[in-house]
Chain A
Amino acid sequence: MTGTVETGLARPSSADTPALVVEHLTKRFGDRVAFEDVSFEVGYGEVFGFLGPNGAGKTTTVRALGTLIAPTSGGAAVAGIPLSPDNGPAIRQRISIMPESPGLYLRLTVAENLECFAKLYELSDARTRIERALRSVNLADRANDLCRALSKGLRQRVALARALLSDPAVLFLDEPTSGLDPVATREVHDLIMALKDRGVTIFLTTHRLEEAERLCHRVAILNTTLLLIGRPDELREELFTRSLEVRTRASLDDPGRVFGGLAVVERWERKLSGSYELTVADPDTAAPAVARALVSEGVDILSIAEARHSLEDVYLELVDEDVEAKKP
């Protein structure tokens, strides 16, 4: 799958206006809080990841921004249009939402499904757009297949083609790879990467962290309230100190003497036999100094590398903290 996406670029109504502005948005269903006091902005051309565990309020946020449900309080502007019941059709004209379940009409063909939605958006050049959208997801040769004959992965691609039909200013993808096998997941990722390269504004909800790390410019972590927002590398730096992982052939007799004597090492910790984690301010300058110290002690070095914390580490750290904090 090539992931060549032929779709119109997201067109900002004003270069200075963000694609999404969300201010203190809250949604409650009776006593239950779906999400609370959520604020963020998403720029045009940005791929914004919205992460959180199941039940964190991700889908409800998408539905609120897509005018399907009314927020309890707070405000938002979607594609430059203030979020209000009266503006619902105008907002929905400028966005596309791909729900977690593709929701295709299974007794209709792929082309008939897209034709229906092209009419719902009142697209004047429907045929051209359908062909273009299907080419974008590499399904041009399946246009006349009934949707019920397609695999889950192919249905997801049709749903993505449907979402691309109207060249939306903001494309909401709600768990786009949920339930897909690794190959189908990779295909959807390639398509999103291609959209990202084209500058399409994407709001991606997911609980697959490697997906967010790979695809998103910035991510927000939600667990009813917004826990953190930023670029994945910024979040890592914010939450974790920088460190070196040192592996030696044999355990050091006195690691405190080796590492403790180095000014560049702030703290050290034995992890496993012959494995140490050193907290440092700057791994690039610390690594040579650590290597020299170990060599001078006659230690056989297997590796010295900067410890990489994944987005998953960030996520688990935050969500675990949040769960602890919410315990009565």
Chain B
Amino acid sequence: MSFSWTRVGAILQKELRDYRRNRFVIYTMSFLPLIFIAAPMIQLFTIKVSITSAKLDSRIGISLLYMLIIPVIIPSVLSAYSVAGEREQGTLEPVLTTPIHSDEFLIGKALAALLPTLAVAYVIFGIFLGAVGLFAHPAVASSIFERNHLLVQLLFTPLVAGWSIWAGIAISTRVSDVRAAQQLAVIASLPPVVIVALMNFNVITPSLGLALGLAGALLLIDGMAWRFVAAMFDRERLVTGRR
């Protein structure tokens, strides 16, 4: 039996329907971004005209870093719940008794975490840019709208989300307690942010080539993480809790 996008779609649709009616998910997706948009705006709008170039870079770096925490935190919380949550509710076994392949299940779960994350992250980033364009000092705005900054944000949002998702699902397949899985997933999702932070703080001089190179490397790591999670997805262990 070959790979079926219908089955992937079934998992995706089910997850999205479940999110819509899950107060915890709605709070995570609405309140967290509000926090992460408020803090950078305060950072930028309180910049004085006399600020040094180094401090400006630092403030902008911090602000943009906040934007990238959204695609790290949201999917890590969602994906950590994806398997452990189903197991806790007793819904995992019925799904695993259907013809679904492990890859179909995992991709369905990953897309269900990725799509809302991208939507929220890009919308929040758009609001952030709009607010900066309208209300920030022109020097700050022009620095934010610098091509490399935008590229880093747009390119790395799905890539850091991808890492968070696979780290979250990997933990979710091994940890039976949902809260423990979510805490571990948040910690495990942070490493890629370090690279982006170094670029945002101009420690690594961001350039198109460097950004694309790092993005390629992160894409490769995401792909390897997917295969790793698929390899460790063990129905017997998930159903019986042992092997």
Residues in B neighbouring A115, C-beta threshold 8 A:
10
Does A162 lie at the interface of the complex (its beta carbon under 8 Å from any beta carbon of B)? yes
B21 close to A107 (CB less than 8 A):
yes
User: How far does the alpha carbon of A139 sit from the alpha carbon of B7 in the complex, in Å?
Assistant: 25
Interface status of A240 (Cβ within 8 A of chain B): no
Cα(A106)–Cα(B18), bound, Å:
9
**Which interface residue of B9, B97, B100 has the most chain A CB atoms within 10 A?**
B97
How many residues in B have their beta carbons less than 8 Å from beta carbons of A?
32
* A105 with B18, Cβ < 8 A, contacts A116-B10, A119-B9, A120-B7 known: yes
Known: A101-B90, A121-B98. A69 touches B235 (CB 8 A): yes
Bound Cα distance A90, B89 (Å): 27
Complex formed: what's the CA distance from A99 to B36 in Å? Answer: 43
Give chain B residues whose Cβ lies under 8 Å from the Cβ of A198: none
Interface size of A in residues (CB-CB distance below 8 Å): 36
Query: Cβ of A117 and Cβ of B240 under 8 Å apart?
Result: no
> B89 touching A103 by the CB < 8 A rule?
yes
Residues of A within 8 A of B207 (CB): none
| Shortest Cβ gap from B20 to chain A (Å) | 8
B97 touches A104 (CB 8 A): no
Contact residues of B between 94 and 113, Cβ < 8 Å to A: 94-101
Query: Known contacts A63-B239, A90-B1, A93-B1: does B93 contact A103 (CB below 8 Å)?
Result: yes
**Nearest B residue to A95, CB-CB:** B97
A66's contact among B91, B97, B100, by CB below 8 Å, is which? Answer: B97
Give 1 or 0 for each of A83-123: 1 = CB within 8 Å of chain B CB.
00000011011011111011111111000100111011110
B95 nearest CB across to chain A (Å): 7
Q: Identify which of A29, A104, A120 contacts B99 (C-beta below 8 A).
A: A120
The CA of A162 and the CA of B96, in the complex, are separated in Å by 14
Q: How many angstroms between the C-alpha atoms of A280 and B164 in the bound complex? A: 75
In B158-177, which residues have CB < 8 Å from any A CB? none
Q: Confirm or deny: A38 has a beta carbon within 8 angstroms of a beta carbon on chain B.
A: no
Separation in Å of the A130 CB from the closest CB of chain B? 13
B14-A108 in contact (CB<8A) = yes
16 contacts between A and B (CB under 8 A): A29-B242, A66-B97, A68-B239, A69-B239, A69-B240, A90-B1, A93-B1, A99-B94, A101-B90, A101-B93, A103-B92, A107-B22, A119-B7, A119-B9, A122-B4, A122-B6
